[in-house]
Amino acid sequence: MSKIISGFSKFTKQEKIDWLTNNFFQNPKEVKKIIHQYWNDDKTLQKLHDDFIENTITNFYLPFGVAPNFIINDKYYTIPMVIEESSVVAAASLVAKFWSTRGGFKTEVLGTTKIGQVHFMFAGEKTNLENYFNTNKTELLAATASITKNMEKRGGGILDIVLVDKTDKLANYYQLHVTFETKDSMGANFINSCLEAIANQFKNDEIEIVMSILSNYVPECIVRAEVSCKIDELGGENPQRFAEKFYQAVQIAKVEPYRAVTHNKGIMNGIDAVVLATGNDFRAVEAGAHAYASRNGEYSSLSYCSIDNGVFKFWIEIPLALGTVGGLTALHPLAKLSLELLQKPTARELMQIIAAAGLAQNFAALRALTTKGIQHGHMKMHLQNILNQYNATKTEKKQIETYFKNVTVTHSAVVEKLNSIRKSTINWIDFLDEDLVREKLAQLDENSVPVFGKMNAQQMIEHLSAVTQIANGNWKVNAYVSDDKTARRKPFLDTRNELTQGFRPSFLSEEPNDFKFNSIDEAIEDLTYQVKYFVEKFQKDSDRAVVHPFFGELDFDYWKKFQVKHFTHHFKQFNLL
- What is the pLDDT at residue 508? 72
Q: Which DSSP helix (H) or strand (E) runs through 68?
A: strand 64-72
- pLDDT score for 500: 79
Question: What are the pLDDT digits (tens) for 425-466?
Answer: 578 999 999 999 999 999 999 999 998 888 999 999 999 999
Range 64-108+232-371 classified under CATH 3.90.1150.10? no
Q: Can you tell me the distance from the alpha carbon of 320 to that of 303, in angstroms, rounded to the nearest whole number?
A: 14
Looking at domain 434-574, which of 1.10.10, 3.40.50, 1.20.120, 3.40.1000 is its CATH number? 1.20.120
CA–centroid distance for 51 within its chain: 23
Mind telling me the catalytic residues? 85, 265, 281, 378
Burial category of 107 from C-beta neighbours within 10 Å (exposed 0-12, middle 13-18, buried 19 and up): buried
Residue 425 is predicted with a pLDDT of 57
Do residues 397 and 387 make contact, with C-beta atoms less than 8 angstroms apart? Answer: yes
- The pTM is what? 0.69
Report the pLDDT value the prediction gives residue 15, as an integer from 0 to 100. Answer: 94
Distance of alpha carbon 563 from alpha carbon 541, whole angstroms: 19
> Any residues with CB less than 8 A from the CB of 129 and at least 6 apart, and which?
122, 163, 174, 207
The enclosing H or E element of 90 equals helix 88-100
| Residue among 179, 177, 176 at smallest CA distance from 202 | 176
What's the pLDDT at 374? 57
Q: How far is Cα 205 from Cα 187, in angstroms, rounded to an integer? A: 31
| Amino acid letter, 161 | I
Domain range list for the chain: 8-51, 64-108+232-371, 114-215, 380-422, 434-574
Q: Could you tell me the fold of the domain covering 114-215?
A: Alpha-Beta Plaits (3.30.70)
Please say whether the beta carbons of 109 and 348 come within 8 A.
yes
Helices (H), 101-187: 126-142, 145-153
Measured in residues, the chain has a length of 577
Provide the mean pLDDT of the chain.
92
C-beta separation of 111 from 220 below 8 A:
yes
| pLDDT tens digit sequence for 101-125 | 999 999 999 999 999 999 999 999 9
Along the chain (577 residues), what's the average pLDDT of each consecutive run of 10 residues? Answer: 81 94 91 94 93 94 96 98 93 96 97 97 97 97 96 95 98 98 93 97 97 97 98 93 97 98 97 97 97 97 97 98 89 95 97 98 94 63 78 82 79 82 76 94 92 91 94 81 88 86 70 90 96 94 90 93 94 90
